[in-house]
Structure 1
Amino acid sequence: MSKFSNEVQQLLAYIGGKENIAAVSHCATRMRFVLNDHEKADVEKIQGIKCVKGTFTQAGQFQVIIGNEVSVFYNEFVKEAGVEGVNKDKAKQTARQNMNLLQRLISHLGEVFAPLIPAIVVGGLILGFRNIIGDIKLLEEGTKSLTEVSQFWAGVHHFLWLIGEAIFFFLPVGITWSISKKMGATQILGIVLGITLVSPQLLNAYAVAGGAEAPVWDFGFIQIKMIGYQAQVIPAMLAGFVFANLELQLRKIVPGYISMIVVPFLSLVPTVLLAHVVLGPLGWTIGSYISSIVYAGLTSAFGWLFAAVFGFVYAPLVITGLHHMTNAIDLQLMSEFGGTNLWPMIALSNIAQGSSVLAMIYLNREDEEEKQVSIPAAISCYLGVTEPAMFGINLKYVFPFLAAMIGSAIAAILSVGTGVMANSIGVGGLPGILSIQPQHMLTFAGSMIIAIVVPFVLTIFFAKKKILGKK
């Protein structure tokens, strides 16, 4: 008998049988099902299976959290069910049939940024470390930083900028590559397109913003400004989607025997020209408006209200997948204002969810089976991975989820009210403080304490008063 034989049979029965499975795949911790009829899945019974740590539906897929042994479970399930597994991309394509237009747009956006997140997080950690050694006055009675008294640390500070610059200044290259990969266009051409947006031949975007006069390509009858789009998100996205769609359409109409020559040329060259004439300026304008509106909202007299609402609803946004939009906004804020006041609230929301799980560990301290799920969930949540905590614990009981939302809202009010800014996106948990600008680290630490204490206390209070459920 295989390791998960009983559990596999139970899941197959409770999910509606083989005939209810349109597609199945898995990721690092979850089984991903595209179901023909979601109503046939008995969620309560599925969550009662011993190895199941939670379930949720996102992006048209019914997802069952198994944990680190999901690959073993998946192989046994596919064999038992007699279904053919598919890769994640194929499952996502099938799942979109169950989505409305907005859900499809959000799904596409999430798939564009998901491959970029590891690089962005690394960049955030690097900038945070450079903060500590280069900007915080730690030595000689608080008058000098490490880089001012040590040549070694000065060299480290200088060297690390090589990586930070590669990640953030040349972000358009990653975006156009990711779009090309996602849409099935030629990836190397997507990379080339991105490079043409940040080439050293072009006047740096930051210099343009500072009022410098850009050189031009002079075609006699028209002149095109040679402006770079370093760190710009929307120009790269517009260019990437135009290129990928153009290439895919050309493949359909160009004969195969000349497609290798004609398709790359006719898809790349017009897109690069269009990017510098129309898409780049248009995207820059759109991005500036979006970032300005968000920044103005967070720094206005009503910024506390915006913060309270965002801090309260961010966790529910994660459930719907709408949180993927914040990646683009954060990156645009970084480009326009040299930092983001949105991302700190995201880190606080993640911490708050972890604190509610911590309270559940305390409440269920005699339950060894419960602790096997909740302790790893709390640890991963404090390190920025909220999925096991939210779907495995907090949403299961409901009241911890609400407690975390309230704590997140209060912490966000303090963060925004004191003008906390992060240099970049970072690790969305306790290590997130490394990405905060040095002058705001102390007040952000205060916000973190709120995000830890308030959800913990409220979760215990709600449990004792049996609000929204029982312990």
Structure 2
Amino acid sequence: MGKYQNDAKELLKYVGGSENVSAITHCVTRMRFVLNDTSKANKDEIEKLKSVKGTFTQAGQFQVIIGTEVADFYNEFIKISGIDGVSKDSVKSAAKNNMSFMQKLMANISEIFSPLIPAIIVGGLILGFRNVIGDMKLFEDGTKALVEMSQFWKGTNDFLWLIGEAIFHFLPVGITWSIMKKMGGTQILGIVLGITLVSPQLLNAYAVAGAESIPFWDFGFAQVNMIGYQAQVIPAIMAGFVLAFLERGVKKICPSTISMIVVPFFALVPAVIIAHVILGPIGWAIGSAVSAVVYGGLTSSFGMIFAAIFGFFYAPLVITGLHHMTNAIDLQLMAEMGGTSLWPMIALSNIAQGSAVLAMIYLQRKNEEAKQINIPACISAYLGVTEPAMFGVNLKHGFPFICGMIGSAIAAIISVGSGVMANSIGVGGLPGILSIKPTFMGIFAISMVVAIVVPITLTIIVGRKKLIK
């Protein structure tokens, strides 16, 4: 008998049986169901199963948190249910039938950025490390950085920029590729389109503000500015979708015998023209406006209020899936302002939720079953993955979730009030300090302490009354 056979049988029963499962797959920690009738899922009974750490519904999917052994559980479930598993993309496609327009929009944005996040995190860590060795004056009475003391570290600093530049300056290539992949288009066309947005022929986006004159293509009857869109998010998104829809449209009217020649040409060439003539300038203006509004909100006299609201509500935002919108805003802030004040608050929220779980570990220290869930969830949250903490522990009890939100809000006020900025998106937990600009590392460390101490203290105070009752 398999380790998870009994729980798999019970889970099948409580989700409404095989006939109620439209599609199923799994990710790193969760079983992902698309159910024909979500009302048939008995959440209370499912959450009583020993293998289950929590349940929630997101993006049209009923998700059951199992943990890192989800692959073994999934295999047992497939054997017992007789249901054929499908790919994540198939499940997402099926789930969209259960989603509203706004949920579909958020899901699409999430699917664009999800494949890019590993690279962005690596880039963030690299930029953070380069800050430590290149900008922090730690030697000779605070007058010199490590790169000024050692040729090895200077060479390392210069070499690491090769990776940082590839990730952030050439981000539009990744975005246009991801859109074409998601839309089922020809991915190499997306890559080519992205390269045309960051070509060395163009004036670098970072040099536009200080340029005495902007080069242009002269067509006689019109001139088009030769501006690059390095690190720009919105122009790349708009251009990527135009290419995808052009390719679909041309395919519909083009005979299959000549499609190999005609479709790529009449999709890519117009897309590149539209990107540089229309979408690039419009996207640049929109991106600049969004960045200015967010940055203005963070640095205005109402910045503390904005920080408190964002810090308090970010964790609930994760539950809805709307938090993926912050990736685009962060990247745009980085391109326009040279850093982001938004991402540090996200890291603090993750730390706060993990700290609430740490308090639950203390409160439930004699509960062996709870420890099996609490300890991995706490470690995961401190390393930037909060779903096991929120769905497996904090939301299940309620009060730790609120205590974490309060701690996050207070820490966010300190962070924004002190002008903390990150170079980029990074690992959204304790390692997040590596992505903070060196000038602000000290005050961010204080914010982290607050995000740890406040949720732990509140959770223990409230928990002693709640759990005894």
Q: TM class, shorter-chain normalised?
A: over 0.9
1:236 is matched with which residue?
Answer: 236
Q: Distance in 1 between matches of 2:160 and 2:258?
A: 45
Amino acid at match of 1:460: I
Relative distance call for 1:470 and 1:254 in structure 2 (3 A) is farther
What is aligned with 2:172? 172
Q: CA deviation at 1:245?
A: 1.3
Aligned to 1:123: 123
Q: Which segment is superposed worse, 207-216 or 237-246?
A: 207-216
Following the alignment from structure 2 to structure 1, what is the Cα–Cα distance between the partners of residues 270 and 65?
45
Residue 288 of structure 1: aligned partner = 288
The superposition leaves residues 114-134 of structure 1 with CA deviations (integer Å, 9 ceiling, x where unpaired) of 000000000000000011101
Contact 2:363 2:464 survives alignment (8 Å): no
Shift of 1:372: 1.3
1:44 corresponding residue in structure 2: 44
Once residues 243 and 139 of structure 2 are traced to their aligned partners in structure 1, the CA distance between those partners, rounded to angstroms, is 52
1:417 aligns with 2:420: no
**Aligned residue identity for 1:289:** A
Provide the residue aligned with 2:225 in structure 1: 225
Cα separation, 2, equivalents of 1:67 and 1:434: 27
TM norm structure 2? 0.99
Amino acid at match of 1:414: I
CA distance in 2, matches of 1:327, 1:106: 12
CA positional deviation for 1:3: 2.3
Match of 1:251 in 2: 251
Report matched runs for 1:23-422 at 5 Å.
Answer: 23-422=23-422
- The runs of at least 4 consecutive aligned structure 1 residues that moved more than 6 Å come to none
**In structure 1, what is the equivalent of residue 457 of structure 2?**
457
- Looking at structure 2, the residues matched to 433 and 289 of structure 1 have their Cα atoms a distance apart, in angstroms, of 28
Letter in 2 for 1:259: S
Unaligned ranges ≥5, structure 2: none
| CA distance 1:53–1:304, shift in 2 (3 Å) | same
Matched letter for residue 260 of structure 1: M
Cα distance in 2, alignment partners of residues 79 and 404 from structure 1: 39
The Cα RMSD (Å) is: 1.0
Report the identity percentage.
70
How far apart, in 1, do the equivalents of 2:107 and 2:347 lie?
22
Offset from partner CA, 1:222-278 (integer Å, 9 cap, x none): 111111000000000000011011112222221111111000000000000000000
Q: How many Å separate the matches in 2 of 1:371 and 1:245?
A: 51
Structure-2 separation of matches of 1:253 and 1:76: 47
CA apart distance, 1:211 = 3.9
d(CA) in 2 for partners of 1:280, 1:434: 33
- Tell me by how many angstroms 1:470 deviates: 6.1
Q: Which residue of 2 aligns with 1:15?
A: 15
SS of the counterpart of 1:3?
A: coil
CA-CA distance at 1:452 after TM superposition: 0.3
For the 8 Å contact 2:312–2:408, the answer to whether it is kept is yes
Whole-Å separation in 1 of the counterparts to 2:75 and 2:382: 31
Deviations 1:289-314 (A, max 9, x none): 00100000000001000000000000
Secondary structure of 1:86 counterpart: coil
